Amino acid sequence: MTAAATLERPIDTTRLRGFVTAFADLLAATRDEQAILDSGSALLARLIATDDWLPQEFAQPNPDRYQQYLLHCDSRERFSVVSFVWGAGQSTPIHDHSVWGLVGVLRGVEKVERFDRLPSGELVAQGEELLRAGEVDAVSPRIGDIHRVTNGLADRPSVSIHVYGANIGAVERATYALDGTPKTFISGYANRVIPNLWDRSRNA
């Protein structure tokens, strides 16, 4: 097979399309955050249980910083689905989300450090845990929204799939110094194109 033929090989978007459709149905059925996190976690766990559907261009590390690739944004911006890619040793700053979110590890390991914010504004570490492939975590301002994430592998990238209750690349959020000093940011996305989930003509 030639290199050109390999590049033109169609990507089977069935799993991702099914996940997006099921998540839209979930949000149409309830606005209760805990119900969304519970049922959404099960949907995300099912998606990441099989690692054969993420197009390679949305799993590419960058030598300088972690990457956030948009995979889908709901037409009413009720939720977005992104892939996060960490190169070896890469880490986010301490940051918040301001909306609910679900994180499912597709490949590798992620170290999550959680923080509480005191009334004074100072941040207090609340421990850390390792998330491995197939595991799902949740965040929200209600249950805890401030954390730092690091690639748990020193020698290769890790990839996770995130679902947020907004178009996360357009949400104004904040990073934090340990004394609680915030710095606002809007993350945007690393990619200029997104997967075409809706063209079924090229699926086998």
Which tens digit of pLDDT belongs to each residue from 86-109?
Answer: 999 999 999 999 999 999 999 999
Phi and psi (nearest 5°) for 20?
A: -60, -45
Question: Is 164 exposed, middle or buried (CB count within 10 Å of its CB: 0-12, 13-18, 19+)?
Answer: buried
Owner of token pair 């915030």:
182
Which tens digit of pLDDT belongs to each residue from 147-175?
Answer: 999 999 999 999 999 999 999 999 999 99
pTM to 2 decimal places: 0.92
Which tens digit of pLDDT belongs to each residue from 129-147?
Answer: 999 999 999 999 999 999 9
Phi and psi (nearest 5°) for 115?
A: -135, 145
If you average pLDDT over residues 62-86, what whole number do you get? 97
Q: Tell me the CATH number of domain 13-191, given options 3.30.420.10, 3.40.50.1970, 3.40.50.450, 2.60.120.10.
A: 2.60.120.10
- Return the closest-CA partner of residue 29 out of 120, 82, 178, 21: 21
State how far the Cα of 112 lies from the Cα of 110, in Å rounded to an integer. 6
Q: Greater confidence, 9 or 119?
A: 119
Question: Per this entry, what is the length of the chain?
Answer: 204
Which tens digit of pLDDT belongs to each residue from 13-42?
Answer: 899 999 999 999 999 999 999 999 999 999
What's the confidence (pLDDT) of residue 107?
A: 97
pLDDT exceeds 80 at position 7: no
Interhelix angle 14-29/33-48, nearest 10 degrees: 170
What's the confidence (pLDDT) of residue 5?
A: 35
